[in-house]
């Protein structure tokens, strides 16, 4: 795939002068943007606002999380409507960011020009969701008005759940979210600094924002998103936030492994779709994915398409789809998608890095044998919107070769010379025994309990462990400024935070190969 090396500025970069981020989740979320006081305000109030640019937020209920019982026949239509809710919130954020002068001169502007139209759109979309569900024999969501209602608030008002930053307001992950919260707060402060220095000159604001370490896309990452791995205390191997992703196999139970070799995406197969959460929606992810294994994965692929596809795996019995957000280095050079959706149009800039190694391994369960995965089983691990959603579904592990006993969850690692960046994802390995997917794409699978067993009557299945290695130059940080930053692609509103890393899998092992996987794991063999 060709790559364009012409230097450019992302369309979001200018907008980022006026806005820190648009935070959208499936059907809801938080939107926050910086804006300035108008010259017509009193000098004291104006000086206060100029010294610390206020942050306005739009807080919308997360409709997608309310829909835990959607009939199979309605799911694709519902997912498409949820994607429209996401887009509506994003559009409202853009309106918020682009009209800061009008807001400063009219106290009712946000309610009248942004929140009220947003609610009207959301009511209509939620009604369509209800119609889809009702036609399929399900119960539509109650309280459309309440689910559609969004509110605005200033930075000094506590967000839902307490705390002024997104991480603090939304996280329920206990002590492990401290680093994320601090990172989120620092992010807001750094972006505020960049915007204040920019004044009302958009071009100057963009340049100053980059000087403050916002990244070339204008929406991150910042210097605060990185940590020297040599300064991290050993904390064990990859386990994931809050215990999510706890490795399944051990000395007891099923101790074997099965490794499948599918390459590192040498075909440059990329798209910004997500056939699991947004089937039939082009650019449903708003960020690029690397695909290995199945070569036909896009938003419009049916199970039949995937089953009949070519595969990059050496074992032709494995047509499974493995995909994750690309890692880019922001070195001032563009890639093929510089002017495309999912790329520059969504604030994802820089050169896409191909992993030097992509290790795909299936392991067993500490307490029992494993059973075969059903064909077309879908598993998402991690949360692409964890910066807003909190740690409930976050599952990130960042480290460096030679230092993998030191794991970061909410920071990118700065690796010493001769060491490479490592991303590790350990998937859910307990299955409900019936469903290949669920309404929220989560509840049909689960992580093991602390003793390694599966709870709630779930069955142990082979656990997928993905380890990605990247040979990337360490970013340079001086006086809070960052050069040559790298980051995962993200929704533009998620600020390229490390905590948003995620991984996706759709099982298309043929029956014979899956039986081989199970036999190897249960008999304690190491197979490939």
Q: List, in sequence order, the alpha helices (H) in 30-115.
A: 43-51, 63-66, 72-98, 100-105, 109
Residue 49 reports pLDDT greater than 70? no
The pLDDT assigned to 203 comes to: 34
The pLDDT assigned to 56 comes to: 41
The pLDDT assigned to 215 comes to: 66
| Cβ atoms of residues 78 and 133 within 8 Å | yes
Q: Which two tokens stand for residue 152?
A: 């605005």
Residue 416 reports pLDDT greater than 80? yes
In the chain, the percentage of residues whose pLDDT exceeds 70 is 75
Residue 23 reports pLDDT greater than 70? no
Residue 223 reports pLDDT greater than 90? yes
Among candidates 199, 181, 419, which has minimal Cα distance to 207?
199
Band (313; pLDDT cuts 50, 70, 90):
very high
Burial of residue 445 (number of CB atoms within 10 Å: 0-12, 13-18, 19+): buried
Q: What is the residue whose two structure tokens read 């599966």?
A: 454
| Cβ atoms of residues 93 and 493 within 8 Å | yes
Rounded mean pLDDT of 403-423? 97
Among candidates 246, 276, 173, which has minimal Cα distance to 426?
246
Strand partners, 274: none
The pLDDT assigned to 217 comes to: 66
Lowest mean pLDDT among 401-405, 443-447, 477-481: 477-481
Rounded mean pLDDT of 259-270? 96
Calpha distance 461→368 (Å, rounded): 10
Q: Which residues contact 253 (CB under 8 A, 6 or more apart)?
A: 364, 365, 366, 367, 368, 369, 452, 460
The pLDDT assigned to 92 comes to: 79
Residue 5 reports pLDDT greater than 60? no
Lowest mean pLDDT among 144-158, 449-463, 504-518: 144-158
Lowest mean pLDDT among 96-110, 229-243, 472-486: 96-110
The pLDDT assigned to 171 comes to: 31
Residue 17, helix vs strand vs coil: helix
Rounded mean pLDDT of 440-445? 92
Residue 467 reports pLDDT greater than 60? yes
Residue 196 reports pLDDT greater than 60? no
Strongest mean pLDDT among 143-147, 184-188, 287-291: 287-291
The residue among 157 and 213 whose pLDDT is bigger is: 213
pTM attached to this predicted model: 0.77
Strongest mean pLDDT among 211-220, 354-363, 379-388: 354-363
Phi then psi dihedrals of residue 357, to 5 deg? -155, 140
Lowest mean pLDDT among 27-31, 376-380, 382-386: 27-31
Residue 479 reports pLDDT greater than 70? yes
Q: Which two tokens stand for residue 8?
A: 């450019």
Residue 168 reports pLDDT greater than 70? no
Residue 527 reports pLDDT greater than 90? yes
Phi then psi dihedrals of residue 324, to 5 deg? -150, 160
- If you average pLDDT over every residue of the chain, what do you get? 79
Rounded mean pLDDT of 477-481? 87
The pLDDT assigned to 152 comes to: 67
Query: What angle do the packed helices 11-18 and 202-211 form, to 10 degrees?
Result: 90
Q: Which two tokens stand for residue 252?
A: 């007891």
Residue 140 reports pLDDT greater than 60? yes
Q: Which helix (H) or strand (E) holds 120?
A: helix 116-135
Q: Which pLDDT tens digit goes with each residue over 78-127?
A: 988 988 887 887 787 778 777 878 887 887 888 899 889 999 999 999 99
The pLDDT assigned to 181 comes to: 36
Residue 472 reports pLDDT greater than 80? yes
């Amino acid at each position: 795939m060709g790559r364009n090396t012409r230097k450019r500025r992302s369309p979001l970069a200018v907008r980022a002068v006026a806005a820190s981020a648009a935070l959208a989740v499936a059907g809801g979320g938080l939107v926050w943007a910086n804006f300035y006081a108008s010259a017509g305000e009193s000098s004291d109030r104006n000086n206060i606002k100029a010294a610390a640019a206020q942050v306005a937020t739009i807080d919308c209920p997360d409709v997608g999380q309310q829909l835990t019982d959607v009939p199979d026949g309605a799911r694709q239509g519902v997912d498409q409507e949820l994607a429209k809710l996401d887009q509506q919130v994003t559009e409202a954020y853009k309106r918020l960011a682009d009209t800061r002068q009008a807001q400063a001169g009219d106290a009712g502007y946000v309610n009248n020009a942004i929140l009220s139209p947003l609610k009207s759109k959301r009511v209509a979309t939620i009604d369509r969701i209800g119609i889809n569900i009702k036609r399929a024999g399900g119960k539509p969501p109650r309280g459309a008005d309440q689910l559609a209602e969004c509110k605005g608030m200033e930075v000094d008002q506590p967000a839902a759940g307490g705390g002024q930053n997104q991480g603090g307001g939304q996280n329920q992950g206990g002590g492990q979210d401290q680093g994320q919260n601090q990172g989120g707060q620092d992010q807001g402060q750094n972006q505020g600094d960049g915007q204040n220095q920019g004044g009302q000159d958009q071009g100057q604001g963009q340049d100053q924002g980059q000087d403050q370490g916002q990244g070339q896309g204008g929406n991150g990452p910042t210097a605060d998103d990185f940590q020297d791995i040599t300064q991290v205390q050993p904390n064990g191997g990859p386990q994931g936030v809050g215990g999510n992703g706890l490795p399944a196999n051990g000395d007891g139970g099923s101790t074997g492994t099965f490794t499948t070799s599918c390459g590192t995406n040498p075909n440059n197969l990329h798209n910004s779709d997500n056939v699991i959460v947004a089937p039939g929606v082009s650019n449903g992810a708003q960020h690029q994915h690397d695909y290995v294994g199945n070569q036909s994965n896009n938003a419009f692929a049916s199970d039949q398409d995937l089953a009949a596809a070519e595969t990059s795996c050496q074992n032709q019995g494995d047509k499974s789809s493995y995909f994750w957000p690309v890692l880019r280095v922001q070195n001032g050079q563009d890639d093929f998608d510089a002017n495309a959706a999912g790329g520059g149009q969504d604030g994802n800039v820089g050169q896409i890095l191909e992993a030097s190694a992509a290790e795909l391994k299936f392991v067993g369960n500490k307490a029992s044998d494993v059973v075969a995965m059903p064909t077309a089983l879908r598993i998402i691990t991690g949360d692409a919107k964890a910066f807003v959603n909190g740690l409930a579904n976050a599952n990130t592990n960042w480290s460096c070769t030679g230092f993998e006993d030191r794991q970061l969850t909410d920071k990118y690692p700065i690796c010493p010379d001769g060491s490479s960046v490592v991303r590790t994802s350990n998937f859910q390995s307990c299955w409900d025994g019936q469903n290949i997917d669920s309404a929220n794409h989560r509840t049909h699978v689960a992580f093991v309990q602390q003793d390694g067993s599966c709870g709630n009557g779930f069955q142990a299945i082979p656990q997928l462990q993905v380890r990605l290695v990247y040979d990337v130059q360490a970013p340079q940080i001086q006086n809070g400024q960052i050069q040559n930053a790298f980051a995962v692609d993200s929704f533009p509103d998620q600020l390229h935070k490390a905590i948003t890393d995620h991984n996706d899998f759709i099982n298309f092992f043929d029956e014979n190969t899956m039986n081989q996987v199970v036999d190897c794991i249960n008999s304690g063999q190491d197979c490939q």
